[in-house]
């Protein structure tokens, strides 16, 4: 599901741009070791067996690229913070709260 319409309607352009710029760094911080300790124990044995460090890295890149596409679709359609009477430096979540 593409959230770009929601983001464009609810989140100031400056906030979207800032979050987009941070995306690769955020996803890069989710290393396989952390996922292995925190996520994999909750997956089925079959799903766990299909994930290794190489596959995890590929998935992180795929996710980051998709989310950046959504940001890039939303940014030009979003209003500036001053048009919405919002603080452009706020750390609004992506639901616009």
Question: Does 97 map to a domain?
Answer: no
Q: How many domains does the chain have?
A: 1
Q: Is the confidence at residue 21, as pLDDT, over 90? A: yes
pLDDT in tens, 33-78: 999 999 999 999 999 999 999 999 999 999 999 999 999 999 999 9
Tell me what pLDDT residue 95 has: 61
Q: Give one DSSP letter per residue of 7-59, joined into a string.
A: HHHHS-HHHHHHHHHHHHHHHHTS-HHHHHHHTGGGS-HHHHHT--HHHHHHH
pTM, entire model: 0.82
Q: In which domain, by residue range, is 34 found?
A: 4-84
Is 95 among the domain residues? no
The residue whose two tokens read 């959230």 is 3
Q: Please check whether residue 96 lies inside any domain of the structure.
A: no
Buried b (16+ CB within 10 A) or exposed e, 13-35: bbbbbbbbeebeeebeebebeeb
């Amino acid at each position: 599901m593409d959230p770009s319409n929601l983001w464009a309607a609810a989140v100031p352009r400056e906030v979207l741009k800032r979050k987009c710029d941070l995306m690769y760094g955020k996803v890069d911080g989710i290393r396989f070791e952390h996922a292995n300790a925190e996520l994999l124990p909750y997956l089925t044995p079959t799903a766990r067996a299909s994930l290794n460090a190489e596959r995890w890295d590929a998935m992180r890149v795929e996710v980051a690229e998709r989310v950046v596409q959504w940001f890039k679709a939303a940014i030009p359609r979003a209003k500036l913070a001053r048009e919405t009477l919002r603080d452009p430096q706020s750390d609004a979540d992506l639901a616009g709260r």
